[in-house]
Structure 1
Amino acid sequence: MNVRRNGAVENAAAPTEASRSPRSLREAGVALAGLSAVFLFEMLDNSILNVALPTIGRELSASTTVLQWVTGVYAVVFGGLMLALGALADRVGRRKVMLVGLVLLGVASLATAFVTTAEQLIAIRAAMGVAAAMTTPGSLALAFRLFDEDGLRVRATTLISTVGLVGLAIGPTVGGFVLAFAPWQVLLLVNVPIAVLAFIGIRRGIPADGVDELHRDPIDGAGALLGTATIVLALVAPTLFVDAGTTSPLPWLTTTAAIVMAVLFVVRERSACYPLLDLKLVARPLVSSGLAFKAAAGLATAGLGYLVTLQLQLDWGWTPAQAAIGMLPQVVVLIAGGALIGPLVTRVGLDKAAWLSAGAVVCGLAVYGLLGRFGYVWAAIALVLVAAGMRVVGVVAGTNVMRGLPTNRTTIGAALVDTASEVTTGIGIAVSGTILAALFTGDIATSSWSTYQTTEFREAVTWAGLALTVLAAALGGWGIIRARSVADSTTPSPEADADGE
C-alpha cells in the first residue's frame, strides 16, 4: 500500500527488485490481460446468451420457466457461493482458486457442444456460476494486490472494468450476428479461449500468494451454509415477486426465509471462534462505505434499466430495436466514462469521488422519478447520470473496500462487493416490479392500454422511481457518513495505522 497516502508505518526492509510491484500498467500487461479476460467473461456471458434464448427454447423444447432458469441459475449460484469461495481463497490462495475456476469454466463451456436437453444446459450454467464465483472476486483482489500505489490500483481496476463493460455492450449485437450463421452453442464455446487467455495471463503475470498474505483459520462450515442460503433466497425472492405477483404467498415466504437465514448468519458469525465473515471488518468505515456506495449503484442501475425498458416499449410504443437504441446513452457513458475516472480521482481524491458519484446516482433516479414520464429526454438524462455515477462507484468503492481490509481478507472483501451489487440488483428490480404490479390493473403486456391504464402505469413509474431514489439516497448517505470518519486518512493517527486502515 502507498506509504504516504495510507499512513502505513514502514518497518520492513525495502523490497527487492524481484518482489517490487509494477510501476506502470505496461509492466503488469500480462497480468492485466488475464484479469481483464476474467471480467470479460462475467459481463459477456449472460448478455450474449440472452439473444439466443428463443433459439434455445425451440431446439431444446424448453418452456419459458425453463429458459428463465437457464440464465437465472447462473446468477443464483454465482451470488450464493461468492462469500464461501472468497473465504476459501483467502486461506488456500487467490491465484490458485482462480486458476482452478478458469479450468472449470473451460471444461463446462466445452461441454456445451454436447448438450441435448434443457436440463443439461441448466447444469452447465450452474457449473459456470461456480466458476464465476471462484474467479470474479479474485480479479479485484489480485488487481489490488498487484500494485502498491492507489492511483495505479484505480487505473488498473478501471481498465479491467472497461473491458468487461465493452463485452456487456457488444454482447447482444455479436450474439445476433453469430446466430445468423452458427449454432447457439458457439456463444458459450467462446468462453473457452477467454478462459485460456485468462489462465495464461494470471499464471505468468501474477505470483503465487505469500504466506503472510493468507490465513489459516478453519473454515466456518455452518456460516458458509447460512450465508449461501441467505444470498440464494435473497436472489430468488425478487424474481418470484415479479413472476408470481404480490398476491402469491411464495415470494413472501421466500423473503421471510431469507431474513431468518440472514439473522441466523449474523448470530453465527458473532459467536463463532473463526467466523466466515468477521463482522468487525465489515464495520470498518472504508469497507462499510464502499459496500453502501456499491449497493446504491447496483440498485439504481437495475431498477432504472427495468423501468425505462418497459416504458419505452409498453408506454411509448417503441420497437425492441428502437428501445435498444434508446438505452445507448447508458452504454456509451459506461464504456467511455472510464477515461474520466483517473482524472477525477486525481483531482478530488477517492473519498470525494465516491461521494460525487453516489450523488449522481441519486440525482439520476430523482430526475426519472419526477420527470421521466414527460418525455425521452428526461429518461436519457437519468440514464446518463446513473451510468456516470455507477461507473465511478464501480472502481472507487471496490478500491476503498480493499484499502480497508487486511491483506489476508481481500478476496472475501471483493466477494462482498460483488454480493452487494448482485443482491441490490435483484432488490431494484423487485421494488420496481412490485410497485407496478400493485398500481397497474390488468395485463401489463397487452397490446393496447386504456387511458386509465396508461395513467396507472405512469403513476407507478413515478412512484417506483421515487422509491428507488429514497433507497439509493439512504445507502449513499450512509456511505458518506461512514466515509467521513476516514476523510482525513492521508494523515491518520498511529492507532489507525495499527488497525490497518
Structure 2
Amino acid sequence: MNVRREGTAAKAAAPTKTSGPPASLREAGAALAGLSAVFLFEMLDNSILNVALPTIGRELSASATVLQWVTGVYAVVFGGLMLALGALADRVGRRKVMLVGLVLLGAASLATAFVTTAEQLIAVRAAMGVAAAMTTPGSLALAFRLFDEDGLRVRATTLISTVGLAGLAIGPTAGGLVLAFAPWQVLLLVNVPVAALAFIGIRRGIPADQASGPHRAPTDRAGALLGTAAIVLALLAPTLFVDAGAASPLPWLAAATAVVAAVLFVARERTARHPLLDLALLARPLVSSGLAFKAAASLATAGLGYLVTLQLQLDWGWTPAHAALGMLPQVVVLIAGGALIGPLITRVGLDGAARLGAAAVVCGLAVYGLLGRFGYGWVALALALVAAGMRVVGVVAGTNVMRGLPADRTTVGAALVDTVGEVTTGIGIAVSGTVLAKLLTGDIATATWSTQQTARFHEAVTRAGLTLTVLAAALVGWGISRARRPGAARTASSPGH
C-alpha cells in the first residue's frame, strides 16, 4: 500500500510535459487542412462564380450593372470590413471569430439554394463577404502563431497559399464543367463542405484562445467606422473610373471622399486612447516594407492581368478559350513556384527573398510595357516574372509583417496585408482602364479595328504598362529603404514577436 502511494506521489511530483508548438507540418495537419480550406474559399469563390454570370443574368433577369454587384459587393464588403473585424479578432479571440465566420459562410452558402431574385443573391454575396472578412485575416495570423520557427511559418504559409492558388486556377474550368449538368447554385453550395472542413480542422487543430492572448483595449468604434468608409470608397472608386469614365464626376467624388475619410481616420488613430490601428506599428520597418512589397505585387498582378486579357482578345483576336490558355504562364508559375520559395529563403533570407520577388514584379511590368506589343513571347515572359514575384512576395511579405508585430496584433496586421492587396488591386485595374479609356476612341469591343484604333491601343498598353511599372518601382524602392533601416532587425527579434 505504501509503495503504491509513494509511486503515485512520485508521479504527481514529476513535471508534466506541456504540449508545445508543432515541430513539423505533419503535427499540425488538422490545423493546416482547416486554414488551407479557408484560403481555398477566398480564391475559389469569385473565380468559379464569374463563369456563371451569363447564366445568372438569364435566369434572374439581371442587368449588367446588377451582375457587376453580384461579384462586386463581395469584394467591397470583404475589403471594407477586414481591418475592423481583424481588430475585433485580436480582442475577443482569433479562433472564436474564425469559427463564427465559418458558420456564417456555411449558412450564407446554403441560402443560395433558395435565391429567386438578383437582389437576394446580392444579399447572400454580402453575407459571404462578411464571412470572408472574419476568416481570411485570421488564417494568416493563426498559421504564423501556430509555429515558433520562421522556416516552418514560411512552409505553412506556402502550403496554404498553394492550395488557394490551385483553386483560383481550376475555378473557371471546374465551374464550366459543373454548369454543363447542374444549376449555377451548385457553384456556391460547394462552399458548404469547404466551410465544414475548415471548421473541423480549426476546431481540432488550433488550441482554444487563451485568456491572456487577446488584446484587451476597448474597440475604437469611430476609427472602425472611418476606416471602413475609407476602404469601401477606395474599392468603389476604381470600378467607377472604369465604368463611368474619368469624365464623370462620380468616381472623382468617391475618390475624394475616400481621401477625406482616410485623413480623418489617421487623425482619429493619432489621438484615440485605444486606437483601432496603432499607427506606430506601421512605422516599424518590417511592417511598412512588407506592406509596400504586397502593394506593388497586387498592383502589378491586377493591372497586367487586365491589360493582357484585353490585348489577347481585342487586339490579337484570340477566342476566350485561347486567351485562357494564354494566361497559363501565370497560372503555372503561381502554383509550381511554391517549391522554390523555401530554397530561395535558405539562400538569401526572408528580407532578400522579399526584395528579389518585388524586383521581379517590376521587371515583369517593364518587359510588358516596353515589349509586350511585339509578340506573345514577351507577354508570356512578363506574366511569368510578375507571377514569380507575386508568389514570393505573397508568402514572405506577409510573414515579415507578422514578424514585425506584437503577438496580440497579428490578426489586424494580417487584415492590413489583405486590405492593402484589395485596394491596390483596384488601383491597378483603374490605372489601366483609365489610360485605355483616355487614349482609345470608338467602340473597343467592335469586331474590326481601324489602323488608328490599333495604333492607339498599342500606345495605351505601353503607357499603362509603364505607368504601372513606375508606381510599382516607387513602392518597391520605398519598401527596400524601409527594410534596410537599423530598427528592422531589432523589431523582428524583440520580445513578443
TM normalised by structure 2 equals 0.96
Aligned to 2:321: 321
Aligned to 2:258: 258
Q: What is the rounded CA distance, in whole Å, between the counterparts of 1:230 and 1:278 in structure 2?
A: 17
Matched, 1:235 2:229: no
Aligned to 1:465: 465
Structure-to-structure mapping, 1:248-397, within 5 angstroms: 248-397=248-397
Aligned AA (1:40): L
Could you give the per-residue CA deviations for residues 308-366 of structure 1, whole angstroms, max 9, x where no partner exists?
00000000110101100000000000000000011111111000000000000000000
Q: Do the aligned residues in 2 keep the contact of 1:286 with 1:486 (CA within 8 Å)? A: no
Structure-to-structure mapping, 1:40-439, within 5 angstroms: 40-439=40-439
Q: What is the rounded CA distance, in whole Å, between the counterparts of 2:365 and 2:492 in structure 1?
A: 36
Q: Do the aligned residues in 1 keep the contact of 2:286 with 2:492 (CA within 8 Å)? A: no
Q: What is the rounded CA distance, in whole Å, between the counterparts of 1:487 and 1:330 in structure 2?
A: 36
Q: What is the rounded CA distance, in whole Å, between the counterparts of 2:16 and 2:331 in structure 1?
A: 43
Moved >3 Å (runs of 4+): 15-19, 495-501
Aligned length: 483
Aligned to 1:3: none
Q: What is the rounded CA distance, in whole Å, between the counterparts of 1:484 and 1:333 in structure 2?
A: 29
Q: Do the aligned residues in 1 keep the contact of 2:226 with 2:265 (CA within 8 Å)? A: yes
Could you give the per-residue CA deviations for residues 34-53 of structure 1, whole angstroms, max 9, x where no partner exists?
00000000000000000000
Aligned AA (1:128): M
Deviation at 1:213, TM superposition (A): 2.2
Deviation at 1:500, TM superposition (A): 5.5
Aligned AA (2:293): F
Q: Do the aligned residues in 1 keep the contact of 2:285 with 2:488 (CA within 8 Å)? A: no
Q: Do the aligned residues in 2 keep the contact of 1:351 with 1:487 (CA within 8 Å)? A: no
Q: Which ranges in structure 1 are unaligned for 5 or more consecutive residues?
A: 1-14
Deviation at 1:214, TM superposition (A): 1.2
Q: What is the rounded CA distance, in whole Å, between the counterparts of 1:473 and 1:479 in structure 2?
A: 10
Aligned AA (2:122): I
**1:488 and 1:111, CA in 2 relative to 1: closer, same or farther beyond 3 A?**
closer
Q: What is the rounded CA distance, in whole Å, between the counterparts of 1:500 and 1:472 in structure 2?
A: 32
Aligned AA (2:377): V
Aligned AA (1:344): L
Q: Do the aligned residues in 2 keep the contact of 1:294 with 1:394 (CA within 8 Å)? A: yes
Deviation at 1:216, TM superposition (A): 1.1
Deviation at 1:211, TM superposition (A): 2.8
Aligned AA (1:450): S
Q: Percent identity, please.
A: 84
Q: What is the rounded CA distance, in whole Å, between the counterparts of 1:427 and 1:414 in structure 2?
A: 20
Q: What is the rounded CA distance, in whole Å, between the counterparts of 1:371 and 1:339 in structure 2?
A: 29
Q: What is the rounded CA distance, in whole Å, between the counterparts of 2:492 and 2:471 in structure 1?
A: 31
Helix, strand or coil at the partner of 1:211: coil
Q: What is the rounded CA distance, in whole Å, between the counterparts of 1:462 and 1:212 in structure 2?
A: 54
Deviation at 1:210, TM superposition (A): 2.0
Q: Do the aligned residues in 2 keep the contact of 1:404 with 1:500 (CA within 8 Å)? A: no
Higher radius of gyration, 1 or 2 = 2
Q: What is the rounded CA distance, in whole Å, between the counterparts of 2:402 and 2:48 in structure 1?
A: 30
Q: Do the aligned residues in 2 keep the contact of 1:402 with 1:414 (CA within 8 Å)? A: yes
Q: Do the aligned residues in 2 keep the contact of 1:112 with 1:124 (CA within 8 Å)? A: yes
Q: What is the rounded CA distance, in whole Å, between the counterparts of 2:213 and 2:134 in structure 1?
A: 18
Q: What is the rounded CA distance, in whole Å, between the counterparts of 1:340 and 1:353 in structure 2?
A: 11
Aligned AA (1:464): A
Aligned AA (1:205): G
Aligned to 2:8: none
Q: Which ranges in structure 2 are unaligned for 5 or more consecutive residues?
A: 1-14
TM normalised by structure 1 equals 0.95
Deviation at 1:448, TM superposition (A): 1.2
CA RMSD between the two structures: 1.3
**1:79 and 1:496, CA in 2 relative to 1: closer, same or farther beyond 3 A?**
closer
